[in-house]
Amino acid sequence: MVKTYNEICRSAKYKLTGNGDRCVGLLLESFEHIDPSTSADVYGTGSIINDFEKEISELLGKEAAVFFPSGTMAQQIALRIWSDEKELKKVAYHPLCHLEIHEKDGLKVLHHLQPLLLGDSNRLFSIEDLKLMKDPVSCLLIELPQREIGGQLPAWEDLVYISEFCKDNGIRLHLDGARLFEALPYYNKSASEVCSLFDSVYVSFYKGLGGIAGAMLAGNIDFIEQSKVWKRRHGGDLISLYPYIVNAKDCANKRMGNMKKYWQHAMTVAARLNKIEGVKTIPEIPVCNMFHLYIDAPKEKLENILVDIIEKHSIVLVGNIRDIDGISCKSELSFGDNFDLIPQDLLDEAFHQFDSEFQKLQIE
């Protein structure tokens, strides 16, 4: 059987992006130093879960936090609580935020909330967009960084302004911080400094941190107590969540301090790619460990070039390529531990081959 491009990628020794393959062995690694007699958590109680919640709530500078199996569950609940508080079903967020395009309308179908899409889909929403918002909303959600436009970030001054605007207008401000830790080096701020602008915060353990799954929702005590009730209603209170917690803790310890390095890798590679005609990154200069890559070539032709590179150097330069319109394609690149594993001379050769093969394609 002919292998797909993604299958060929999986067999390569080196990958430009990511933190390693998502294999079951990751869990074994995380449990290496755990005493097997450690008590499991039971329906959200026990030190294994509650100590971790406390640790993360302190890191984020919030009164309390609760561990969720997914960010999808955590954030719908956060917005529901803020909407109930104000008895106002309208909430505002970016047109391409996760809740709007990846959650099968959970917010609308399960919670009957009415999203107001702020600004245009191809850019960050601005303070002007906020001021022009016609309807009152109970909550505004900001995603830092905004993944679907390449991981862009608003200026710190804009965030501060938005936070004050929300306070002045009785709007709760929620942070989709799926990649918050990845954004901190750009702001040169601590997690708690950033989170102090927000009423509630969600962070993920499986994006830049490279865990299996899992999320933490943080806020004031009353908000977190309510979110625990909703977690139970959603079936999110698994009798034991410790495999995710042990792994989340391990991955946070391993990678939390690496975000600046991952960002530097993203900048290095983006600068290199932007030199090639017919290739561009958004943003041009990454502001965190990710960017989106746009290539003027049909997906199949690009994949053929990349397969040759994998066969010769065993390096995947770009994976998960998506067709845009038959003549161009795109991909998302997020940098992690994998980058440093590639011998530099091999990477140079791979890029060199990419440059010359891609130029030949442009001339064809």
Ligand X SMILES: Cc1ncc(COP(=O)(O)O)c(C=O)c1O
Residues in contact with ligand X by the rule CB under 6 A: 70-72, 98, 143, 147, 176, 178, 204, 215
Q: In the complex with ligand X, which residue's Cβ is closer, 147 or 292?
A: 147
Q: In the complex with ligand X, which residue's Cβ is closer, 147 or 299?
A: 147
Q: In the complex with ligand X, which residue's Cβ is closer, 210 or 342?
A: 210
Shortest reach from residue 146's CB to ligand X, in Å: 8
Shortest reach from residue 70's CB to ligand X, in Å: 3
Q: In the complex with ligand X, which residue's Cβ is closer, 106 or 298?
A: 106
Shortest reach from residue 202's CB to ligand X, in Å: 7
| Nearest residue relative to ligand X (C-beta) | 71
Shortest reach from residue 307's CB to ligand X, in Å: 28
Shortest reach from residue 147's CB to ligand X, in Å: 5
Q: In the complex with ligand X, which residue's Cβ is closer, 98 or 313?
A: 98
Q: In the complex with ligand X, which residue's Cβ is closer, 19 or 353?
A: 19
Shortest reach from residue 203's CB to ligand X, in Å: 10
Shortest reach from residue 236's CB to ligand X, in Å: 11
Q: Which residues pair with 92 in a beta bridge?
A: 116, 140
Shortest reach from residue 223's CB to ligand X, in Å: 18
Going by C-alpha positions, the residue among 255, 245, 195 that lies closest to residue 215 is 245
Q: In the complex with ligand X, which residue's Cβ is closer, 292 or 313?
A: 292
Shortest reach from residue 71's CB to ligand X, in Å: 3
335, 269 contact by CB (below 8 A): yes
Three-state SS sequence of the chain: CCCCHHHHHHHCCEECCECCCCCCHHHHHHHCCCCCCCCCCECCECHHHHHHHHHHHHHHCCCEEEEECCHHHHHHHHHHHHHHHHCCCEEEECCCCHHHHCCCCHHHHCCCCEEEECCCCCCCCCHHHHHCCCCCCCEEEEECCEHHHCCECCCHHHHHHHHHHHHHCCCEEEEEECCHHHHHHHHCCCHHHHHCCCCEEEEECCCCCCCCCCEEEEECHHHHHHHHHHHHHCCCCCCCCHHHHHHHHHHHHHHHHHHHHHHHHHHHHHHHHHCCCCEEEECCCCCCCEEEEEECCCHHHHHHHHHHHHHHHCEECCCCCEECCCCCEEEEEEECCHHHHCCHHHHHHHHHHHHHHHHHHHHC
Q: Which residues contact 1 (CB under 8 A, 6 or more apart)?
A: none
Q: In the complex with ligand X, which residue's Cβ is closer, 12 or 218?
A: 218
205, 52 contact by CB (below 8 A): no
Instruction: Compute the distance between CA of residue 191 and CA of residue 214 in angstroms, rounded to an integer.
Output: 18
Q: In the complex with ligand X, which residue's Cβ is closer, 78 or 162?
A: 78
